[in-house]
Amino acid sequence: MFTNVIVRVPSKSVVDGISSSNEGKPNYGLALKQHEEYVSALTKAGVNVTVLEPNDDFPDSCFVEDVALCTKKCVIITRPGAASRQKEAALQDMQEALKKFYEHIEYIEAPGTVEAGDIMMVGDHFYIGESARTNRAGAEQMIAILEKYGLSGSIVPLKEVLHLKTGLAYLENNNLLVAGEFITSPVFEKLNKIEISPDEAYGANCIWVNDHVLVPAGYPNAQKAIEGLGYKVLVVDTSEFRKIDGGLSCLSLRF
């Protein structure tokens, strides 16, 4: 179960966020509205939400998931692979928010890079995607830290997606949404894989929060599959964040 969530309000500079989507720039006003609805959905799922102020110096800083991995034993401050994001984790308000909840704080150090969008928690095990943003050195550091606290990790090389959780979502109860390259991956054979079709691949980025699942708007087949598993679904529009390579999981730290 999750008790707390940290989010950051999008700044006006969000329109200049890193993007490979070719869908144009986000509408700032609409992004703000969608973010408010996201926070509202999280609240409905029964968590306390800490809302950090926008920071114009970092266009991608609303994607707080990438800058820290929150576990039940410690928080690990990452070192994002995107150079423009490497100082986000050091922002004072983020540091203060994390220190409020965690006694044990660890850090990924150069030459390692890690973005926590590449990390999926399944119980006490953490799958770590080796990607353009998370390198082998960073993944190995992450595993060493996890093991220090009695947790475990393993590396999953990525071929096509930006982040591991771009195409995966663990919904607890052994259920795993899979899209793209992960459909045929032998790594997750022990889990109950729910396949998301290529035309709805973005819909695979959902988040489980206390028996609720937040699902992006506009992916009816993915939504139906999740509802069929018995979850309470909360639909949230993330169209403006999709334009800058972001999804539901990217927008929060959940612990």
64 pLDDT band, cuts 50/70/90, is very high
Residue 206 falls in the annotated catalytic set: no
From the list 35, 62, 163, 206, the catalytic residue is 163
Q: Is the pLDDT of residue 141 over 90?
A: yes
21 pLDDT band, cuts 50/70/90, is confident
* Segment (H or E) for 168: strand 168-170
As a whole number of angstroms, the distance between CA 96 and CA 199 comes to 41
Q: pTM of the full predicted structure?
A: 0.97
Residue whose C-alpha is closest to residue 164's, from 134, 195, 122: 134
Residue whose C-alpha is closest to residue 237's, from 208, 203, 210: 203
* Domains along the sequence of the chain with CATH: 4-250 (3.75.10.10)
Rounded to an integer, the average pLDDT of 186-191 is 96
From the list 62, 70, 206, 250, the catalytic residue is 250
The pLDDT score that the predictor gives to residue 39 is 98
Residue 104 falls in the annotated catalytic set: no
Question: What tens digit of pLDDT does each residue of 87-101 get?
Answer: 998 999 999 999 999
As given in the structure block, the two tokens for residue 232 are 């309470």
Question: Mean pLDDT, the chain, as a whole number?
Answer: 97
**Residue 211 CB-half CA count within 13 A:** 2
